[in-house]
Structure 1
């Protein structure tokens, strides 16, 4: 593909900063549970290892700030995903979460005085039952524990089941475990905590294995005809004005790009009749808050493709030591759509990720056609539902049935077309109704002011 002006884009500038995960890191595990403030420990329980290995002590923490130090120190060497970063979860919680009644129930698991895992959980009321869910699970693409690599490699299913039983006992107010979008593998190792009530999620995630030789990788990914067509689109876009790819630095511009990209993505989903998760104010504010973290525990990056300083496509992504995770990407459908700016921006991100020495490009959860088109492997996501109380078992059964029929519906193209049409007309009707309400309010304002 032809050249493109790249503003402030050395590898260290694009991909530098704190890594969200360092699988197999040699850093030592966090020691001394005594650093936890005893007044902040809401409960603890000892879990006996049925396999004869070390027992575990579970500490229940209901205050996020009380676990900040333990969490942030541990995540630098633990296996996890960007969605288990302390800053991400904290921002989600402070912004209200999907349920204002969500109550943190964070479990710190120790062997002796060594922290080996963190379960970022929360209790949420739902139709009279108390569900135990992953914190920020409503906006996360991946939900899982933070686990020390050495512990993950030897944790057995029996011990994992005992730990979950201990979690229910130490929290004491759980009817049902409702754990969704859990990756089957974390850093290439099977997720050892998925042992109960397991079913495949309604979607998967998709990844591409990168190679440092970008030209060779690109030739393998795309035919000569496709590469030629993309070069032509790139050349046409350059003729429209000064073409630049930027890593967005200033906070004011970051906020603007975030708002714009989420709006474009939402419009795209609504136009196709798909559900629009980007209407969530909690998600929008969480992304903005985390984009402000410079040397913190998360590496959220914002990128844009510009023509004459006009944004025409944007990317919101997490960048780690080995993986580029594409969270949201969208383009302006009203500007140069015939030049495929979204594809050109994606291609640039793939190239820079490969040249920077990253191992994987993660398209995250979702079965969109473009993800399947670029990926070379699929990561299975799992949901786990199991009840502790009678009503919890009823809720778990309903959740399993709902998931089953959702997957049946997604597998039926005719049904999906009908559902998308219904969703599209519903969105249009809501927009018309909102406009009508607004016009009524505006028409009433002069009368009110005149009367006053």
Structure 2
């Protein structure tokens, strides 16, 4: 339903281009009234799958946070949709993209003509309209992980107040065939490593690339991923971000959603061993695909199974090879700087967080957010300091884990 209280008054509008109709800004508290236009807008390859209807619906069903979906409509239908939810991690009411905790890249949804218009819109005016629409609902609008330049386009929100996120994302363009794709990342060395991995696994009985099918296999493999990841987080002294029941329910619900064709909200891939380790799963990864864009949402390995063969990297080889064969154009390793990502990816995408204070306390929160982001970026720019802090964190969480045991 539309929340009339939060809608901008008639006459308060955004002008997309000289020939466009006036589009009032409205706030919706439910997804359903927007579904038809939402699914139309999300078909554009420039729109992140994290703003797709099925992804957002799965999060809303499992988390139940209040929604404040900002949209602009013209005579031709909705021209943009910003799918936001309201959370209150502290005393601050924050409006963020739905499920932003587990998104790798956020674009919002924009009509293709609007997204590609030759003249940039008045960002300050646009920001003011969004703030006015959420007055009384949020203290701070925090649009995280937005690429200001993405797939050759300048983002419509690029002119708003933003700060560079401390984490970047990493992509591998898929160039028509697997050989051309490998040529971007030292193909000779990569093929040699692949042959060594295969030889080591064949020596213990071989392996199989499994794509989960059927409800039972999907549920089993996802549960195994949660187990493997929990072990890894504990070893690193880090909190398990997949531990909460609603988070696990979210991914379980994504597995049940099917869009038809090659598009899929979540698909589980695994490296299954044979021979002396018959039936054991050495590595798991979750892939999502929308249009020509594939994102690796998560991955895990069992470090007790054939670690000398680097099963996690081998699984990436197999998945990328398949994506090339299926006509995808971009394999996205997601957010976070790790050595294995850099070894695969010639493209590094800088993302920004857009901060729009709504209230006085929101202004204070925005200042604090910027300071925190700059601090994190400074720490990550110095690997030795970052490593030291990680070790310190691991030591500080060890007593808590022992008490739980």
TM norm. shorter chain > 0.5:
yes
Of 364-373 and 217-226, deviating more is 217-226
State whether structure 2 residue 38 is matched by structure 1 residue 71. yes
Corresponding residue number in structure 2 for 1:251 = 215
The structure whose Rg is larger is 1
1:116-150 Cα offsets, whole Å, 9 max, x none, are: 11110123335433222211112211222111111
Task: Give 5+ residue unaligned stretches, structure 2.
Answer: none
**1:324-354 deviations in Å (ceiling 9; x for gaps):** 2111122211111111111111111111112
Distance in 2 between the 1:41 and 1:155 partners? Answer: 34
For the Cα contact (< 8 Å) 1:57–1:112, is it kept in 2?
no
Distance 1:73 1:52, change over 3 A: closer
Give yes or no for contact 2:148–2:157 (8 Å, CA) kept in 1: no
The answer on 1:299 being equivalent to 2:265 is yes
Using the TM superposition, give the Cα deviation of residue 172 of structure 1 relative to its aligned residue in structure 2, in angstroms.
2.3
Matched-pair contact (CA < 8 Å) for 2:45–2:290: no
Q: How far did 1:166 drift?
A: 1.6
- Alignment partners' CA distance in 1, 2:302 and 2:249: 22
What does residue 341 of structure 2 align with? 371
Match of 2:157 in 1: 193
Q: Deviations over 1:412-444 (max 9, x none)?
A: 223212211122223332221101xxxxxxxxx
What CA distance in whole angstroms lies between the structure 1 residues aligned with 2:148 and 2:239? Answer: 25
**1:38–1:217 CA distance, 2 compared to 1 (3 A):** closer
Number of residue equivalences: 395
> Does the C-alpha gap of structure 1 residues 384 and 219 become closer, same or farther in structure 2, counting only changes over 3 Å?
closer
Helix, strand or coil: the match of 1:181?
strand
Q: Which runs of 5+ in 1 are unaligned?
A: 1-36, 436-452
- Summarize deviations over 1:30-60 as a string: whole Å, max 9, x none: xxxxxxx668896344315397553322221
CA distance in 2, matches of 1:143, 1:229: 34
Query: What is the CA distance between 1:156 and its match in structure 2?
Result: 5.3
Structure 1 counterpart of 2:374: 404
Q: Distance in 2 between matches of 1:212 and 1:50?
A: 36
SS in structure 2 of the partner of residue 256 of structure 1: helix
Q: What is the CA–CA distance in structure 1 between the aligned matches of 2:186 and 2:104, rounded to whole Å?
A: 27
Counterpart position of 1:235: 199
Q: Report if aligned partners of 1:60, 1:107 keep a CA contact under 8 Å in 2.
A: yes
Matches of 1:400 and 1:42 in 2, distance apart?
27
Matches within 5 A, 1:73-152: 73-77=40-44, 79-96=46-63, 102-152=65-115
Displacement of 1:225 after TM fit?
A: 4.8
Match of 1:224 in 2: 188
Distance in 1 between residues matched to 2:4 and 2:362, nearest whole Å: 28
Question: What root-mean-square deviation, in Å, do the aligned CA atoms of Structure 1 and Structure 2 show?
Answer: 2.5
Aligned counterparts of 1:400 and 1:389: Cα–Cα separation in 2: 17
- Out of 172, 180, 196, the position equivalent to 2:144 is 180
Give yes or no for contact 2:14–2:25 (8 Å, CA) kept in 1.
no
- Quote how far apart the aligned CAs of 1:396 are: 0.8
Taking the aligned partners of 1:343 and 1:156, their CA distance within structure 2 comes to 44
**Cα pair 2:287 2:298 within 8 Å, conserved:** yes
- 1:328 match: secondary structure: strand
The Cα of 1:272 is off from its aligned counterpart by 3.4
Indicate the residue corresponding to 1:49 in structure 2.
15
In structure 2, distance between residues paired with 1:268 and 1:215: 33
**Structure 2 Cα separation of the partners of residues 151 and 158 of structure 1:** 9
SS of the counterpart of 1:164?
Answer: helix
Q: Residue 254 of structure 2 corresponds to which residue in structure 1?
A: 290
Per-residue deviation, 1:151: 0.7
Question: Is 1:395–2:361 an aligned residue pair?
Answer: no
Cα displacement (A) at 1:207: 0.5
Determine the structure 2 residue equivalent to 1:20.
none
